[in-house]
Every structure is written in C-alpha cells, then in structure tokens.
Amino acid sequence: MKNVIVFPATRAIPAAAEGSDTTDLAVVIPTYNEHDNVETLIAALDTALGGIRYELIFVDDWSQDGTADLVRSIARTRSDIRCISRFGRRGLSSAVIEGMLSTSADIVAVIDADMQHDESRLGAMFDLVMRGEADVAVGSRYREGGGCGEWSARRVQISRAATRLAQLALPNPITDPMSGFFVIRRDIVVELAPRLSQKGFKILLDLLMSAPKPLRVSEVSYVFRTREAGVSKLSTAVMFTCLIMLLKKAVGRWIPMRLAAFLTVGLLGLGVHLGVLRLALLAGWSFTVAQAMAVTVAIAFNFSLNNAFTYRDRRLKGFRILAGLASFYAVCAVGAAANVGMGSLVYAAGHRWWLAGAAGAVAGSIWNFAMSSWFTWRRR
C-alpha cells in the first residue's frame, strides 16, 4: 500500500471545545527499573505542567523493582495517570511508540523517568507545538543555554560523534537529534508509526528520518541533569547497534540497498576488469579484443558475487546457477556490446586505456542492473 502523507504546514491543533475535558498533552514516560524516581517525577511534572490538561502514561517493560506496581497504586487515585505494562519485551523505542499511540491527546511528550530531562522546559515545548509553530519541539543539550551536566569525557565524545553522524543523515539542521526529550503532534506519530524501526533508543531521530517531508522542528535548550536514582540502561553496545541501524536507514533513503550492493560488486568487478584488460594489453592483444576478454571475466565474477550477496534472497542453486549464469551472459551480451563499443569509441578518440575501459564498463553496468534483476534473478 502506498502511503501518501501530507502534513499541513500551518495547521495549529484545534482548541478543545469549551467546557470539554479533552486532554491536551500526553506525557509518555518509558521505565525500566525506575521505582525510586516515579514519585519525584510525578511531583515535578505536576508542578511544571500547571495550566495544561495532561495525562501521564508510564510504559514499563516488566521492571523487577516494582515500578509498575507503584505507578498503578498511584493511578488508583488519579485518572490522569496510567501504566502500560509490557511483558516479554524490552526496548525504549518500541515502548515510547506504544505509549504515544495509546492516547487520544493531540500532542504527546516523551521524557525519561530518571529526572535527567528538565521537565520545567516542557511547557515552552508544548506551546510551540500547540501554536502550530513546530511539528516537533526538541529539548536540546547542544543549543546555547543547554548542557550535558556531569557527563564523563568519554560519554560526551560518543554522544558528540553520534550527533554529528545523525546530523549528516537529517534534512533538519538540528543541534540535538539524539535527544530523548521532545514534544510532537500525535497525528504525525500515527502516520509514521509503520515506518519506524522500533529497535534501539533513538526514537526522535527515527521519526525525523522517516518523515517523507522534513518536519518543522524547534529546539528548546535544557541542561541534562545527573540521574536521580537507579542506573542507566544504555550501554555502548546498544549505541553501536543503533548507529548501524541509522546508517542503513540513511543510505537506504537515497539508494535502495540492492542497487548499493550491485554497485559495490560492480566496482570490484571494475577492478577485475581493468586488471584483465591490463594483462591482455601487456600480452599484446588489440584493445578491442582485450576489452572483450576483460568483460567476459568480469561478468562471471560479478555473477558469482551478486548471486551470493546482492540477490541472496533469490539465490540460484544447483543447476539454476548454470541457467542463471547463461541468462546473465545473455543479458550482459547486449551490455557488453555497448561496453566494448563505448570503450573502443573513447579509446579511438585518443583517451587513455583505463578511461576507455571504465567508460565502457559504466555503460554496460547500467544495462546489466536493470536487465539482470528482471531476467536472471527474477522474483519467483
């Protein structure tokens, strides 16, 4: 199914009808073993959110320290607090997504349970989204007035490096794309949810990267505080998993993975091609014959690698390998004709042997990609 997503640029959230008790803001709080922070956080949020009709949604992944029980016991006396308790699953991103999808409030906020995010900035962030000035309001450590508090030098370094990388992948020029503290319109989350990866903990980054049209982002600075109680759950390993996922996503956004693989194989094939061409020329063959030999070897080489990697999911086995190789040659024969023709042309024009060889290979490989995915590795 094709998703057509249109985010009206200036639509503000409609004001709640007079006298209705609509909730304006849902604050999603992911928790894993945060028992000792729950009451402090609720008190802090109650103070910070005065004047806003809000609800607090804790999403707990079966903490062993009684976090969920505590939240439920508080929720017995407060209808604006509830606990989504998940069993047999772990994951910050998926917890946050589930929390955000579980509310009918038009605007949702995400904040850590450990008091590291400055809840007093929430009101300003909410206003930006409520007034329609931004689709997302992000709490930023790296904007003027923000800070990382008492982080170790190593953690600051890792965070900085990850931030730079994320900035490269994003259309939005924002200072803290790795922030776990933000306010966003719920309809945007609902639209984007099927595209989100659920893995890792960079939910904001995932949202920004999954939007078909850049979201309008505003940043509000804050100083990252020291953890109130308990320990951090984000190991370096988690961060690396997350970075790999993001890289994949960043690349996949511009070039389909399969084409990227085909091109990489093609590049290696070009190396093989040029090597054979060089040897054949040294052996005294004419350029046209040498180029034809190089093409023949390179095709066999590319076929094996593409069959093993690029089309791993449609991999040809047994006798099909021979049939596939034959069809790949057939497909490439036309490509090879273009290849040799183009190469000879460039060579005849007086250019260097390697430029001529490469020009031929490029012309041939464009044809090869299109045709081989239709014939050789046809979806069955």
31 touches, from Mn ion, ligand GDD, none (C-beta below 5 to 8 Å by class): ligand GDD
Residue type, 47: T
Q: How far is the CB of 33 from Mn ion (least distance, A)?
A: 12
Q: How far is the CB of 117 from Mn ion (least distance, A)?
A: 8
Q: How far is the CB of 353 from ligand GDD (least distance, A)?
A: 53
- Within 94-113, which residues bind Mn ion (CB under 5 A)? 112
Rank residues 40 and 172 by Cβ distance to Mn ion and give the closer one.
40
By CB under 5 A, is residue 116 in contact with Mn ion? Answer: yes
Q: How far apart are alpha carbons 313 and 372 in whole angstroms?
A: 15
Residue 248 near residue 202, CB atoms below 8 Å: no
Rank residues 34 and 106 by Cβ distance to ligand GDD and give the closer one.
34
34 touches, from Mn ion, ligand GDD, none (C-beta below 5 to 8 Å by class): ligand GDD
Q: How far is the CB of 59 from ligand GDD (least distance, A)?
A: 5
Provide DSSP, 174-207.
Answer: -S-TT-S-EEEEHHHHHHHGGG----SS-HHHHH
Pairing of strands 25-31, 81-85: unpaired
Residue closest to ligand GDD when measured from CB atoms: 180
Q: How far is the CB of 149 from ligand GDD (least distance, A)?
A: 10
60 touches, from Mn ion, ligand GDD, none (C-beta below 5 to 8 Å by class): ligand GDD
Q: How far apart are alpha carbons 123 and 55 in whole angstroms?
A: 14
CB burial string 212-250: b at 16+ within 10 A, e below:
eeebbbbbbbbebbebeebeeeeeeeebeebbebbeebb
Binding site for ligand GDD (CB under 6 A): 30-32, 34, 59-61, 90-92, 95, 112-114, 116, 178-180, 201, 232-234
Phi then psi dihedrals of residue 8, to 5 deg: -60, 130
373 touches, from Mn ion, ligand GDD, none (C-beta below 5 to 8 Å by class): none
Rank residues 55 and 114 by Cβ distance to Mn ion and give the closer one.
114
Radius of gyration over every alpha carbon of the chain, rounded to an integer in angstroms: 28
Residue type, 50: G
376 touches, from ligand GDD, Mn ion, none (C-beta below 5 to 8 Å by class): none
By CB under 5 A, is residue 191 in contact with Mn ion? Answer: no
Q: Which of 4, 2, 7, 59 is nearest to 34 (CA)?
A: 59
By CB under 5 A, is residue 119 in contact with Mn ion? Answer: no
- Which residue of 24, 60, 61, 114 would you call a contact of Mn ion, by CB under 5 A? 114
Q: Angle 160-166-168 (CA atoms, 0-180°, nearest 5)?
A: 110
By CB under 5 A, is residue 159 in contact with Mn ion? Answer: no
Rank residues 105 and 113 by Cβ distance to ligand GDD and give the closer one.
113
Provide DSSP, 260-299.
Answer: HHHHHHHHHHHHHHHHHHHHHHHTT--HHHHHHHHHHHHH
Rank residues 30 and 269 by Cβ distance to ligand GDD and give the closer one.
30
Containing H/E element for 371? helix 353-374
